[in-house]
Amino acid sequence: TWTMVNIVEEQIEAIRTQIGETGRAICGLSGGVDSAVAAAIVQRAIGDRLTCVYVDHGLMRQGETEQVERDFVAATGVDLKVVDAEKRFLDALAGVSDPEEKRKVIGREFIRVFEAAEAEVLADAIAQDGAKVAYLVQGTLYPDVVESGGGAGTSNIKSHHNVGGLPDDLEFELVEPLRTLFKDEVRLMGEQLGLPDEIVHRQPFPGPGLGIRIIGEVTRERLDILRAADAIAREEMTRAGLDRDIWQMPVVLLADVRSVGVQGDGRTYGHPVVLRPVTSEDAMTADWARLPYDVMETISTRITNEVPDVNRVAVDITSKPPGTIEWE
């Protein structure tokens, strides 16, 4: 829209003013819309003085990492550093099945891997032009600002975490180009910036990824099973034109549960998956979505036919409260 064109232009100017003619910026990409739009607009403002970092923790859904590596880069021309950390995350998650413990492990590893990558990028920049300030781009939205009681303007973080290999006097400063915007405005801005539809309209997806959608220990094999089932469910929802009617639909693998089935010529002893389609305004409360029977039927038939090890599909009909949206 005309207004959004103006907002984009104004933001680009503001970013140029803040970062200056030589400043270097770094932005972590999560695969979600906020970090993607924040990165895209900063890229418009300062070009390849922005480097994006994407940590591939191996817990993403099918095709999501490629979406960032290929489609997002193609749409924006962003300079992207991808860190393949799957093995590290899976090693750290071995033997962990408690939900809070999983979140802790994933969060901790994520910070370590991201900071190491960040330090590498910045060390390069400093070697090149002796930068004194590193600009950290974040996709903070207006509701986050209000919630954390933050005022207008940008906050300075004087002493960042102790990132090894960087000069002691290096200062970090936040760049938050979305801090006056609501989610729907961020999506408009993403469209305006020419980002792929799959990214602009992606439904919410938790930071710990599929790690908290496997009930039980997280292993590569279980992730592959869940990725295959989830991909089918998403494909059929898109085919039925239902993506914008629901808030999100986690697919959950009950990895520690087995149930008996009969498939082909014989008896199977496989795992159930649970579909968790919900409608919601803000994720604080949610209602279970009444999906059309024929769509559920197709999803169930395809998953049990196409995903070995899954012999049962269940649908979660609990609202929030009492159930949370995610199972963990």
Q: Which residues are near ligand XMP by CB under 6 A?
A: 103, 204, 206-208, 248, 283, 320, 324-326
Least separation in angstroms between CB 10 and ligand XMP:
29
Half-sphere exposure for 262 (CA within 13 Å, toward CB): 1
Least separation in angstroms between CB 288 and ligand XMP:
12
Q: Is 125 labeled as ligand-binding? A: no
Least separation in angstroms between CB 30 and ligand XMP:
8
Amino acid at the residue 251: V
Which of 126, 113, 104 is CA-nearest to residue 56?
113
Q: Is 30 labeled as ligand-binding? A: yes
For residue 14, give both structure tokens.
């503001």
Q: Is 36 labeled as ligand-binding? A: yes
Tokens 């071995």 identify what position? 94
Residue closer to ligand XMP by CB (options 110, 135) is 110
Give bridge partners of residue 84 from the DSSP assignment: 56
120-135 burial: b if 16+ Cβ within 10 Å, else e: bbbbebbeeeebebbb
Give bridge partners of residue 13 from the DSSP assignment: none
Q: Is 194 labeled as ligand-binding? A: no
Least separation in angstroms between CB 122 and ligand XMP:
25
Residue closer to ligand XMP by CB (options 22, 324) is 324
Amino acid at the residue 304: T
Cβ proximity of 122 and 81 under 8 Å: no
Q: Is 127 labeled as ligand-binding? A: no
Alpha carbon 108 to its chain centroid, in Å, reads: 16
Least separation in angstroms between CB 280 and ligand XMP:
8
CA distance 130 to 125: 7
Q: Is 164 labeled as ligand-binding? A: no
Exposed / middle / buried, residue 225 (Cβ in 10 Å: 0-12, 13-18, 19+): buried
| DSSP E strand stretches across 254-301 | 259-263, 266-275, 278-279, 287-288
Amino acid at the residue 233: A
Q: Is 31 labeled as ligand-binding? A: yes
Least separation in angstroms between CB 210 and ligand XMP:
11
CA distance 308 to 226: 11
Least separation in angstroms between CB 200 and ligand XMP:
17
Q: DSSP character for 70? A: I
CB atoms within 10 A of CB 139: 24
Exposed / middle / buried, residue 36 (Cβ in 10 Å: 0-12, 13-18, 19+): buried
Least separation in angstroms between CB 83 and ligand XMP:
19
Instruction: Show binding-site residues.
Output: 30-36
Instruction: Show binding-site residues for ATP.
Output: 30-36
